[in-house]
Amino acid sequence: MRYLLMVRTDEIAETGVNRDDEKVVQGARLIHEMIGAKVLIAADGLLPSAYGAVVTIASGKPKVTEGAARDRNPVGAFALIDVASKDDATEWAGRFALAHSQAQIEVRQIAELSDFGPLARELSRHRVD
């Protein structure tokens, strides 16, 4: 099962100030361990939300708002993992939280084609591998 681990940032991280070097090294060690365990699909840090944009629908058309999202704890980093269970995912999330000194890691399971029930057959015709 695939899970997305989302590291929620704080006000300090949103300023763009780097955390201490030891935490960066701890994070790199954990990523290396996840690669060795063959659970890591992808992982990266994100620039502060001020460098991003928010796209909404207004009057039936996409509207782009530059800059910070209004989320109090925006996502600052992520890891996409493939593990056997939710328990495995939350165990990796706990280790990810310690390595990033963050109190909150959101763990979300990725929807698989089979999760769409009868619609899966129609969706599979449009799947690109």
Query: Model confidence at 57, in pLDDT bands (50, 70, 90)?
Result: very high
Asked if residue 125 has pLDDT above 80, the reply is: no
State mean pLDDT over 21-41. 90
The DSSP 8-state label assigned to residue 86 in this structure reads: H
The larger pLDDT score, comparing residue 102 to residue 4, is at: 4
Domains in the chain: ranges and CATH: 2-112 (3.30.70.1060)
The larger pLDDT score, comparing residue 62 to residue 10, is at: 62
Q: Are 2 and 109 in contact (CB under 8 A)?
A: yes
Look at the chain and count its residues: 129
Q: Which residue has the tokens 């890591």?
A: 40
Q: Are 8 and 75 in contact (CB under 8 A)?
A: yes
Q: What is the pLDDT of residue 129?
A: 59
Neighbours of 81 (CB within 10 A): 24
How does pLDDT run across 76-123, given as a tens digit for each residue?
Answer: 889 999 999 999 999 999 998 888 776 789 999 998 877 777 776 676
Asked if residue 128 has pLDDT above 80, the reply is: no
Q: What is the pLDDT of residue 37?
A: 96
Torsion of CA 97, 83, 34, 24, to 10 degrees: -20
Amino acid at 13: A
Asked if residue 41 has pLDDT above 90, the reply is: yes
Amino acid at 35: I
Instruction: Output the pTM of the full model.
Output: 0.81
**How far apart, in Å, do the first and last CA atoms of the chain sit?**
17
Q: What is the pLDDT of residue 38?
A: 97
Q: Which residue has the tokens 């000194």?
A: 101
